[in-house]
Structure 1
């Protein structure tokens, strides 16, 4: 038995060309949620100093 995955925004069946969404509208709604702080990654907020240290560490790893 195969189950069809649903769009995480409107719960309609997904469309391959817009996966994991069903349409450009749902894809754009999801992006707007990220831009508008509707979603958040758990954990403490990073300070600018933490972000600079991480960027410097990554630059050092690339050498």
Structure 2
């Protein structure tokens, strides 16, 4: 996983495992600054995508 910050201070998260995203997101709360809240929201979205992708890629059991 790696995180980039652009010139507008937005995070870009790349190649993150759902377990890592859940762990990081669980450490964040709304009392932290806006950047961390945005990161938490982004991680939550990435976890949802990863879980959906994993479910779609599972072959049916015969």
Query: Normalization by structure 2: what TM-score?
Result: 0.32
Structure with a larger share of its residues in helix: 2
Question: Looking at CA atoms only, which structure, 1 or 2, has the larger radius of gyration?
Answer: 1
Structure with higher strand content = 2
